[in-house]
Amino acid sequence: MDVLDRVESIRGARQKKRVEGRVDDVEHENDRLHVENESLRDQLHQERAELSRILDVLERGMRGRGPRKHRLRRIAVLSVAAGSAYVAGSKAGRERFDEIRERWNRMMGTGRAEIQDRGYEAAEATERAGDRVRDAVQKAGDKAGTIADRAGEMAGSAAEKAARLERQAAGQMPRSATPPSPEAGRAGT
């Protein structure tokens, strides 16, 4: 039994040591979290103070103007202020600020870029259409010239055939006979 008591006391001492080590770890973590919590609380107070100053400046600026003048401008200023306050007070910090700024830049740049892109596309489409029209006119002119040449050739050969048939019908020239050459008439004299 002595041995059993001794094993039991050693086991108890080990468990006590483990528990004390865990307690120390938990206390250390607790202290770290307290420090971090205080730091975040101070940062939150600073951001709220900055937001409060921004809103005070906006209210003072709005009070100095006449009633219901430039209502749209006031709404725009308030929207910008609310957006900047959100960014300033956001827990997401720099990443969220960059995301909002990127969205704003896209929104502001989209209209200009789209207009510019549409202008370039329209100019290119007009140029391509002009090239196609020029090519089509040129091809049509070439075809018309070819057809006119062929028609001229056909008309010439038809006129020659008609004249030959007319002479044959008048009996001036037999079918197999060839027209006399000017030299043949001189040789007989």
Convert the pLDDT of each residue in 82-136 to its tens digit: 877 776 666 566 777 777 778 777 777 666 667 677 777 877 888 887 788 888 8
Amino acid at 61: G
Q: How far apart are CA 122 and CA 90, in angstroms?
A: 44
Residue 189: which pLDDT band, with cuts at 50, 70 and 90? Answer: very low
Out of 23-37, 39-53, 104-118, least confident range: 104-118
What is the C-alpha to C-alpha distance for residues 101 and 90, in angstroms, rounded to an integer? 14
Tell me how far apart the alpha carbons of residues 179 and 182 are, in angstroms, rounded to a whole number: 9
* 7-22 confidence digits (pLDDT tens): 888 888 999 898 998 9
Query: Residue 175 gets which letter from DSSP?
Result: S
Can you give the pLDDT at residue 110? 65
Query: Across residues 56-70, what is the average pLDDT?
Result: 69
* Residue 158 pLDDT class (50, 70, 90 cuts): confident
pLDDT at 163 over 70: yes
What distance in Å separates the CA atoms of residue 87 and residue 54, rounded to the nearest whole number? 13
Task: Please choose, from the candidates 93, 90, 60, 98, the residue with its C-alpha nearest in 3D space to the C-alpha of residue 77.
Answer: 60
Predicted pLDDT of residue 188? 47
Measured CA distances, 157 to 154, 161, 162, 163, 174 (Å): 5, 6, 9, 10, 20
Q: Which of 22-31, 101-110, 150-159 has the highest mean pLDDT?
A: 22-31
Q: What is the largest CA-CA distance in the chain?
A: 172
**50-64: average pLDDT:** 80
pLDDT at 93: 67
Can you give the pLDDT at residue 54? 85
Least confident of 57-66, 92-101, 128-137, 171-180: 171-180
**Single pTM value for the model:** 0.29
74, 62 contact by CB (below 8 A): yes
Share of the chain above pLDDT 70, in %: 78
In order, the DSSP letters of 46-59 are HHHHHHHHHHHHHH
Q: Is 98 helix (H, G, I), strand (E, B) or coil?
A: helix
- Average pLDDT value over all residues in the chain: 77
**Residue 113 in tokens:** 């870029």
Tokens 């006391």 found at: 9
Q: How far apart are CA 54 and CA 43, in angstroms?
A: 17
CB of 33 within 8 A of CB of 59?
A: no
- Above 60 in pLDDT, residue 28? yes
**Which pair of tokens denotes residue 72?**
């749209």
